[in-house]
Amino acid sequence: EKGGFKHFMIKEIYETPEAVESALVGRFDEHGRPTLYELDEFNLERIKRILLVACGTSYHAGLVFKYFAEKYLDIDVLIDVASEFRYRPIRVDDETITIAISQSGETADTLESVRAVKKAGGKVIAIANVVGSTITRESDVTLFMNAGPEIGVAASKTYVNQLVVLYTLGMYMARKKGVWNEQLSSVSKELMNMPKILKYVLQNQEIERMAEYYKNYHHFMYIGRGINTATAMEGALKLKEISYINAVAYPAGELKHGPIALLDPTFPVFAIVPNDSLYEKMRSNIEESRARNARILSVATEGDEEIKRISHDVIYVPKVHEDLYPLVMAPVIQLFAYHIADKRGYDPDKPRNLAKSVTVE
Ligand code: M6R
């Protein structure tokens, strides 16, 4: 049932390219423009505000969407974890739509948030994987992730598929709002190519070697900026939940406001530093960290010799459109956490104290 793999988690990570293929199929026209017919009746062109609600990994996918949507759609995206969202005042109007993201479609706090929005008179788009799940039944419409079943407790391929569906939704809204442009056209072309690109990322042997080297550290500091702040957060969550190593994540600019005090040779920095518009800022954060004698493991774009020079170790990912780095970074942070857990002798499929769907509040 694990198809020759040692654990479900690693099997599911390797299923990602195929899963992405299924998330894309039927959602684009022959010019590569998104067509989400099921949303046509919601007149999303009028939307000026999006409320995003989710937990855990799904929340991190939502964060990526926030950066993407705010960049292209000229709207505000307010995002919160469901266990906070549902207890705060909920303001909805005709120009607001809520997006609830949940792999299982059964997460109690996310479900209660959906109910609260509906009660306040708002409309909800669900993004879910499990067909027939409660959140999909109670929302106004569902975009399915089509990732296939995920048995490992840690979200892996479903995180990537959430991202794919959210990028597609963002681009669909751009079309509706009449702000489709060249940039989005290249994002969409590259998204179509993602199954191939991800297959290539999954061949990277360096990640496991790095896991071997770093497996005995007790702490990690994950840093990123912009759209990859979410990558850093998801990387730290993965490491914590399956390898029980303490990992904290910060938007890199926050380091000097406190957390940099933690850094020393026993506290490595895992830096997400693609070749994007925030590259120079990340580069100085790496240098600051290095000056505190922290060991630096960077994930950078192929061909970037400068980052290699200032880091102790580098894992390379292929160059993609800057908005799409969270997709190619995802297998890297997942495999790193997986191999560390496995090498430390833990079963990544059954992390202690955790359940696949959190149906209690
Ligand atoms: O099923 P959901 O997406 O609603 O689950 C939310 C979180 O419990 C979930 O993403 C969790 O953080 C992951 N399994 C962690 O890998």
* Ligand 1 contact, 358 CB (< 6 A): yes
User: What's the average model confidence in pLDDT over 337-357?
Assistant: 92
* Contact predicate 205/195, CB 8 Å: no
What confidence tier does 125 reach under pLDDT thresholds 50, 70, 90?
A: very high
Can you give the pLDDT at residue 338? Answer: 98
Query: pTM of the entire structure?
Result: 0.97
pLDDT at 351: 86
Q: What is residue 359's predicted lDDT score, i.e. its pLDDT?
A: 85
**Quick one: pLDDT at residue 66?**
98
Give the H/E segment covering residue 101: strand 96-102
Q: In which band, very low, low, confident or very high, does the pLDDT at 353 lie, cut at 50, 70 and 90? A: confident
Residue nearest ligand 1's atom 12 by CA: 56
Measured CA to CA, the distance from residue 101 to residue 107 in angstroms comes to: 10
Determine the residue of 83, 103, 113, 144 to mutate for testing ligand 1's pocket, defined as the one with the most ligand atoms within 8 A of the Cβ atom. 103
**pLDDT tens for residues 78-95?**
999 999 999 999 999 999
Determine if ligand 1 sits within 6 Å of the CB of residue 103.
yes
> pLDDT for 36-94, tens place per residue?
999 999 999 999 999 999 999 999 999 999 999 999 999 999 999 999 999 999 999 99
**What one-character-per-residue DSSP string does 207-256 give?**
HHHHHHHHTT-SEEEEEE-GGGHHHHHHHHHHHHHHH--EEEEEEGGGGG
Q: Is the model's pLDDT at 361 over the cut of 90?
A: no
100 and 125 in contact (C-beta within 8 Å)? yes
| Alpha carbon of 291 to ligand 1 centroid (Å) | 36
> How many other C-beta atoms can be found within 10 angstroms of the C-beta atom of residue 214?
20
Whether 316 has a pLDDT exceeding 90, the answer reads yes
pLDDT tens by residue, 204-223: 999 999 999 999 999 999 99
Say how many Å lie between the CA of residue 59 and the centre of ligand 1.
8
Atom in ligand 1 nearest the alpha carbon of residue 130: 1
Residue 147 has pLDDT above 90, yes or no: yes
**Are 145 and 126 a contacting pair, CB within 8 Å?**
no
Complex ipTM more than 0.85, yes or no: yes
Residue 355: per-residue pLDDT: 80
The Cα 117–Cα 198 span in angstroms is 36
pLDDT: is 162 or 357 the higher one? 162
Say how many Å lie between the first and final Cα of the chain, rounded.
32
| 3 state SS of 317 | strand
Edge-to-edge strand list for the sheet holding 76-81 = 76-81, 49-54, 96-102, 124-128, 141-144
Ligand 1 neighbourhood includes 326 CB (under 6 angstroms): no
Mean pLDDT of the chain, nearest integer: 97
Indicate which atom in ligand 1 lies nearest the CA of residue 162.
3
Average pLDDT over residues 251-277: 97
Q: How far is the CA of 160 from the centre of ligand 1 (A)?
A: 13
Q: How close is the Cα of 117 to the center of ligand 1, in Å?
A: 21
Of residues 48, 177, 350, 356, which has the active-site annotation? 356
Q: Would the pLDDT of 356 be above 90?
A: no
The pLDDT, as a whole number, for residue 294 is: 98
Instruction: Judge whether 118 counts as a catalytic residue.
Output: no
Atom number, ligand 1, closest to the C-alpha of residue 104: 1
Alpha helices in the chain (DSSP H): 8-14, 16-24, 56-73, 82-85, 108-119, 134-138, 157-176, 182-192, 194-201, 206-214, 229-243, 279-291, 305-310, 325-343
